[in-house]
């Protein structure tokens, strides 16, 4: 192809010298640091759950360990499968993906089962499937397609409004489940795709101003006139981190306990003496607050190691945006990268007591099939972009 003459291609590629099994499986041009960081994170998750949740389910000490391990294996397989596929096909499927996304999220209202006052998931025979988790990836894939295709239609303002509407519609559905955290991820992913899609800075400034206004409206103005938009617990969770000691018995309590747990881990962790996270002081320790478990059990060494893996993951994702063979890949990689960064920062920040409690899982670490699978699929898409970039540079097409 047209890139065949690039000097870069002259360098010998370790996996490309022969068309071996790796190349046949599409693994030759995987981004190995990305793979390793993702697999290391999920492995650490399985390891941590195995140690910390022995007593959580009476009679089956390895309940969380076994299930998370299965999700991890399925996720890794899914990642490899996607690696082989040319992600560009998703651009063609954008309408179908988007329809499926909105339908699946909407169907939860009809068929979903309620947990703690919100309907988020379908109850399947082996696990409960939460469409909004996969929805993050679907939204990025579909929206990136819409952005590319609509790049020449309408004025910049019209385009921006169109993207926003496309992104915010499923976000609103998720918000109504209600799942505030995931809907925020949707919004951020939408903005990320727009950001990589070249939406002007001025538009972002306006959007930023609008968001600030929305926050004022939701948290201050609407409750003041007697029409609260957020449910009481949502608002309390969102704002309690600002003054944790006022809420020691309520929402702030959880966060306070999480901070105590992490702090108590000190340099090297408390191991099995990690009472904070073993004795229910820290809630949701297998999901939202798993970082507190790591902090208490393995100390600064363990927690910093995990954070480093996320930094590596994000760096590799960001790097892939620059390598992509086409704009669609850049937008998709950017959306995925930012969504991962956002989720990681909000979740770890929540564990560390500097971000509000939003119920956003820690990608690859938090227990949960939907989240683990969806994240691995997203990583698979990143890998696909990487592989396609290398193949196109070599003048090969994916087969």
Q: Residues 253 to 272: which contact another protein by CB under 8 A?
A: 253, 257, 259-267, 270
Residue 158 near another protein by CB under 8 A: no
Residue 87 near another protein by CB under 8 A: no
How many Å apart are CA 122 and CA 113, to the nearest integer? 6
CB nearer another protein, residue 202 or residue 275: 275
Residue 228 near another protein by CB under 8 A: no
How many Å apart are CA 90 and CA 66, to the nearest integer? 32
How many Å apart are CA 296 and CA 231, to the nearest integer? 31
Per the rule left: phi > 0, alpha: psi between -120 and 50, beta: everything else, 395 is left
How many Å apart are CA 304 and CA 308, to the nearest integer? 6
CB nearer another protein, residue 132 or residue 256: 256
**With contact defined as beta carbons under 8 Å apart, do 366 and 288 qualify?**
yes
Residue 283 near another protein by CB under 8 A: yes
Phi and psi, residue 172, nearest 5°:
-65, -40
Residue 93 near another protein by CB under 8 A: no
Residue 198 near another protein by CB under 8 A: yes
Beta bridge partners of 128: 123
Identified binder of another protein from the candidate list 104, 324, 358, 366, rule CB under 8 A: 324
Residue 209 near another protein by CB under 8 A: no
Identified binder of another protein from the candidate list 325, 356, 357, 373, rule CB under 8 A: 325
CB nearer another protein, residue 79 or residue 261: 261
Residue 35 near another protein by CB under 8 A: no
Q: Which of 99, 61, 146, 184 is nearest to 331 (CA)?
A: 146
The one segment of 19-27, 59-67, 224-232, 309-317 that binds another protein by CB under 8 A: 309-317
Residues 6 or more apart whose CB falls under 8 angstroms from that of 355 comprise: 241, 345, 346, 349
- Quote the tokens at residue 3: 């890139």
Q: Residue 137 to residues 218, 338, 374: CA-CA distances in angstroms?
A: 27, 12, 7
Q: Residues 234 to 253: which contact another protein by CB under 8 A?
A: 253
Query: Using only C-alpha atoms, what is the Rg of the chain?
Result: 22
Residue 280 near another protein by CB under 8 A: yes
The one segment of 12-20, 61-69, 74-82, 192-200 that binds another protein by CB under 8 A: 192-200
**With contact defined as beta carbons under 8 Å apart, do 177 and 120 qualify?**
yes
Residue 156 near another protein by CB under 8 A: yes
Q: Residues 115 to 144: which contact another protein by CB under 8 A?
A: none
Residue corresponding to tokens 């192809």: 1
Residue 305 near another protein by CB under 8 A: no
**With contact defined as beta carbons under 8 Å apart, do 189 and 140 qualify?**
yes
The one segment of 5-13, 110-118, 274-282, 374-382 that binds another protein by CB under 8 A: 274-282
CB of 118 to another protein, least distance (A): 22
Residue 367 near another protein by CB under 8 A: no
Binding mask 40-59 for another protein (x = CB under 8 A): ---------------x----
The DSSP 8-state label assigned to residue 13 in this structure reads: P
* List of E strands, the chain: 113-115, 118-123, 128-129
CA angle 94/97/98 to nearest 5° reads: 85
CA angle 219/224/227 to nearest 5° reads: 80
Residue 196 near another protein by CB under 8 A: yes
Residue 321 near another protein by CB under 8 A: yes
The one segment of 79-87, 222-230, 295-303, 379-387 that binds another protein by CB under 8 A: 295-303
* Sheet of 113-115, strands arranged across: 113-115, 118-123, 128-129
Q: Residues 326 to 355: which contact another protein by CB under 8 A?
A: 326-328, 330, 334, 337-338, 341, 345, 348-349, 352-354
**Binding footprint of another protein on the chain (CB under 8 A):** 55, 147-149, 151-152, 156, 195-198, 253, 257, 259-267, 270, 275-276, 279-283, 295-296, 299-300, 303-304, 307, 310-311, 314-315, 318, 321-322, 324-328, 330, 334, 337-338, 341, 345, 348-349, 352-354
């Amino acid at each position: 192809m047209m890139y065949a003459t690039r000097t870069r291609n002259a360098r010998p590629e370790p996996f490309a010298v022969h068309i071996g099994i790796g190349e046949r499986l599409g693994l030759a041009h995987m981004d190995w640091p990305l793979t390793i960081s993702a697999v290391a994170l999920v492995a650490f998750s399985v390891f941590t759950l195995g140690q910390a949740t022995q007593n959580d389910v009476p009679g089956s000490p390895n309940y969380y360990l076994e299930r998370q391990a299965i999700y991890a294996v399925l996720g890794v397989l899914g990642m490899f499968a996607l690696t082989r596929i040319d992600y560009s096909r998703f651009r063609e499927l954008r309408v179908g993906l988007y329809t499926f996304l909105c339908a699946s999220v909407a169907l939860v209202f009809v068929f979903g089962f309620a947990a703690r006052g919100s309907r988020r998931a379908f109850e399947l025979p082996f696990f409960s499937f939460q469409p909004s988790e996969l929805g993050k990836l679907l939204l990025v894939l579909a929206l990136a397609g819409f952005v590319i295709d609509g790049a020449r239609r309408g004025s910049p303002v019209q385009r921006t409004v169109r993207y926003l509407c496309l992104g915010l519609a499923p976000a609103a559905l998720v918000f109504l489940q209600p799942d505030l955290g995931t809907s925020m991820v949707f919004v951020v992913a939408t903005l990320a795709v727009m950001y990589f899609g070249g939406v002007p800075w001025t538009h972002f400034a306006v959007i930023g101003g609008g968001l600030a206004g929305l926050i004022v409206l939701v948290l201050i103005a609407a409750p003041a006139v007697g029409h609260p938009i957020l449910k009481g617990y949502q608002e309390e969770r969102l704002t309690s981190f600002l003054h944790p000691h006022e809420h020691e018995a309520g929402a702030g309590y959880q966060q306070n306990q999480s901070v105590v747990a992490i702090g108590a881990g000190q340099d090297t962790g408390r191991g099995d003496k990690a009472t904070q996270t073993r004795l229910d002081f820290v809630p949701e320790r297998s999901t939202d607050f798993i970082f507190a478990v790591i902090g208490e059990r393995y100390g600064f060494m363990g927690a910093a190691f995990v954070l480093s893996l996320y930094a590596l993951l994000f760096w590799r994702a960001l790097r892939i945006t620059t390598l992509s063979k086409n704009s669609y890949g850049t937008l998709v990689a950017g959306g995925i990268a930012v969504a991962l960064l956002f989720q990681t920062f909000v979740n770890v920040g929540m564990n560390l007591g500097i971000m509000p409690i939003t119920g956003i899982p820690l990608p690859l670490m938090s227990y949960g099939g939907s989240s683990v699978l969806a994240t691995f699929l997203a990583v698979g898409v990143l890998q696909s972009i990487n592989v396609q970039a290398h193949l196109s540079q070599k003048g090969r097409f994916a087969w």
